Amino acid sequence: MARGPDGAGARSGYSLADQLFNPASAADLAACFAPLPGFDAQRFLDAALPRFAGQGIHARLGILADALEQQLPPDFPAMAEALLACLPPPLDPSRSDDDFGRFIHAVFGVLAARRGLEQPEIGLDVIHAATQRFTMEYAIRPFLNAHPDLVMARLALWAEDDNYHVRRLVSEGTRPRLPWGMGLTLDPLRPLALLDRLQGDRTRFVTRSVANHLNDLSKTHPDAVLERLRAWQSGPQTPTERDWMARHALRTAVKRGEPGALALLGYRFDAAFDVRLTLPAQVRIGEALVIEARIDGPKGTPVLVDYRLRFHRPGGSAEKVFKLKTARLGGGPLLLKKAHRMKGDATTFRLHPGPHTVILQLNGRDVAEAGFDLTG
């Protein structure tokens, strides 16, 4: 199901915003602030809940922040003290991956970014504590734009933090193309020194962020990414995790067939292959396109097999890349078969009847193509 940044689902009647922000979760948030002298939980709920209708995730976070501000001290240092006192318990430190916390606790970062930019040291203190309850990569980006030197100095300290959520924030918060995140004015190469300190982390939550950060950067600075990955070959990371990071970091470069990225992963761009690609002559929308390929080559050759679908469009054509197989050639041919459903009900990519093409790509190089007619 396709979702936008505010959690609007394609399935009729489903709302991610309603799942995350509702009377029960808002009441839980109110309970965090209940110990504050004079805090009125019902007043908070009355101010927030009626405004939720029809609003997405980010809008509801703003609504919660508005309702909290009505009862928090107007002076930011005092507000920050109240926010720190009302944080929920930290996330489980024994875990090592996929522990984001509850989205409703992102409101602590919303208030820190909304009110703390003029007193960034205090605002960053709030973010440091809050990211141990829910990831703060969106909240720290306004601070990076307003106070880059100060924030980068703080991030250098956080890269050594005992809490892996804080270490992950160093990488995730500085990503060049954070999905749905505020754009950064920071030189995109500047955070690489921070990634050098994180690339040996023993926590997958951190190393995945480092790899995603490099994948972002590969779209504009591919040579810098390859240079870093080569330098890390002699670093402290385990070989297995280092190889995983490289594959994840170069996934977009591999789709583009960039020889440097493929070579670093062990796939020779100039490897010799004998290839036969077979398709049906015609496929109806909603049916499966059966793609068959026979690949021969020198025994032991690593091979990365992708295929591109060139779709017929009213004004021309469009292409998408799909993964097929990663293998090492044995003594005989590599036989591959894939049933690719031509979805007629896809909400993000509408199909149009007409001539379509499959291009087989080995180690980033186009080696064969065949056409078929898509009918309605």
Same domain, 165 and 285: no
Nearest partner of 96 among 193, 241, 243, 252, judged by Cα? 241
Does a structural domain hold residue 1?
no
Contact present, 31 and 41 (Cβ < 8 Å): yes
Alpha carbon of residue 282 to chain centroid: 37
DSSP 251-289: HHHHHTT-HHHHHHTT--TT---EEEEE--SEEETTSEE
Contact present, 351 and 295 (Cβ < 8 Å): no
Contact present, 123 and 116 (Cβ < 8 Å): yes
Does a structural domain hold residue 54?
no
Same domain, 81 and 179: yes
Distance CA(137)–CA(59), nearest Å, equals 17
* Mean pLDDT of the region 120-135: 98
Does a structural domain hold residue 143?
yes
Q: Is the pLDDT of residue 309 over 60?
A: yes
Same domain, 218 and 325: no
φ and ψ at residue 13, rounded to 5 degrees: 90, -10
Boundary (domain end) residue, out of 224, 241, 258 = 241
**Please, what's the b/e burial string for 200-236 (b: 16 or more CB within 10 A of its CB; e: otherwise)?**
bbebbbbbbbbbbbbbbbbeebbeebbebbeebeeee
Q: Is the pLDDT of residue 151 over 80?
A: yes
* Mean pLDDT of the region 35-53: 97
Same domain, 111 and 218: yes
* Mean pLDDT of the region 284-298: 95
Does a structural domain hold residue 256?
no
Same domain, 232 and 280: no
Domain span at 214: 72-241
What CATH code is carried by the domain that includes residue 297? 2.60.40.10
C-alpha R_g of the chain: 25
Same domain, 170 and 312: no
Query: At 275, which amino acid appears?
Result: V
* Mean pLDDT of the region 86-93: 93
Boundary (domain end) residue, out of 241, 264, 285 = 241
- The terminus-to-terminus CA distance of the chain in angstroms comes to 23
**Please, what's the b/e burial string for 314-351 (b: 16 or more CB within 10 A of its CB; e: otherwise)?**
eeeeeeebeebeeeebeeeebebebebebeeeeeeeeb
Same domain, 232 and 90: yes
Q: pLDDT value at position 6?
A: 57
Burial class of residue 369 (count of CB atoms within 10 Å of its CB; 0-12, 13-18, 19+):
middle
Boundary (domain end) residue, out of 241, 263, 289 = 241
Does a structural domain hold residue 6?
no
DSSP state letter for 198: H
Distance CA(122)–CA(118), nearest Å, equals 9
Q: Is the pLDDT of residue 11 over 90?
A: no
Does a structural domain hold residue 260?
no
Same domain, 284 and 235: no
Q: pLDDT value at position 200?
A: 97
Same domain, 211 and 340: no
Does a structural domain hold residue 40?
no
Q: Please count the structural domains in the chain.
A: 2
Q: Give 251-271 pLDDT, tens digit per residue.
A: 999 888 888 999 999 998 888
The larger pLDDT score, comparing residue 104 to residue 5, is at 104
Same domain, 232 and 338: no
Query: At 60, which amino acid appears?
Result: R
Same domain, 151 and 278: no
Same domain, 107 and 178: yes
Q: Give 216-264 pLDDT, tens digit per residue.
A: 999 999 999 999 999 999 999 999 999 999 999 999 998 888 889 999 9
Q: At what angle do helices 204-218 and 222-231 cross, to 10 degrees?
A: 140
* Cα 86 to Cα 30, 72, 162, distances in angstroms: 10, 11, 22
Q: pLDDT value at position 13?
A: 61
Distance CA(156)–CA(178), nearest Å, equals 20
Does a structural domain hold residue 56?
no
Strands (E) in the chain, as ranges, are 274-278, 282-284, 288-296, 302-313, 316-328, 334-341, 354-362, 365-375
